[in-house]
Chains A and B, each alone.
Chain A
Amino acid sequence: NAGVTQTPKFQVLKTGQSMTLQCAQDMNHNSMYWYRQDPGMGLRLIYYSASEGTTDKGEVPNGYNVSRLNKREFSLRLESAAPSQTSVYFCASSEPGTEKLFFGSGTQLSVL
């Protein structure tokens, strides 16, 4: 039982490059989330998916797109990376009606 798995763990991009962060959970959760965490700041919600087939914008969605591929997988795509997107990205999942989010180990992304 791996919980929430994110790949890759580290990535360096050049400005303008694109990439997709992958996330999968094996807990049969309906809800999945993407957060970013910058130094000295809390986690800020980028996008979330309340259930398979639905996605909604969070606090900081600009520059990102998401895909809820199936119940297990929720990917985050940067179409044209910018230095302002240098951050640590966390994927999380939860069951609706519960307050406990399970987080993946994070992806440290640097955009040069």
Chain B
Amino acid sequence: GQSLEQPSEVTAVEGAIVQINCTYQTSGFYGLSWYQQHDGGAPTFLSYNALDGLEETGRFSSFLSRSDSYGYLLLQELQMKDSASYFCAVRSGSARQLTFGSGTQLTVLP
């Protein structure tokens, strides 16, 4: 089966940089995705890494190291609206199902 580990909570101040880590154990790994979910809302897609390295999308970047089974989401210039839960997810296995981590609750303080 698959398992993903990410911190349950992270707190940072407005304007700061925060990194949310994700380690995974899986077979037949295809790639690592990140989703954002505000309280009471639906998850929304942020990024996907299939290859090693850094992908940048505006203030958000995502990194993957396949050899270390590790990735992270980097949020720069934090804003209050970034307060949300962030989930890493892996697509793996013969059925290529998407499995989600338990999520990291990010709180941005003024």
Contacts and interface: CB of A to CB of B under 8 A. Distances in A.
Interface of A: 33, 35, 40-45, 48, 56, 58-59, 90, 99-106
A48 B97 contact: yes
A100 B97 contact: no
Nearest to A48: B97
A104 to B, nearest CB: 6
A99 B44 CA distance: 12
A103 B100 contact: no
A45 B87 contact: no
Nearest to A90: B42
Interface-centre pick from A35, A42, A90 (highest chain B CB count, 10 A): A42
A8 B87 CA distance: 25
A102 B35 CA distance: 10
Interface of B: 4, 8, 31, 33, 35, 41-45, 48, 87, 89, 91, 95, 97-103
A99 B91 contact: yes
B97 A44 contact: no
A25 to B, nearest CB: 13
Contact of B41 (A35, A41, A105): A105
Contacts of B35: 101
B98 A45 contact: yes
A41 B102 contact: yes
Contacts of B89: 42
Contacts of B48: 99-100
A43 B97 contact: no
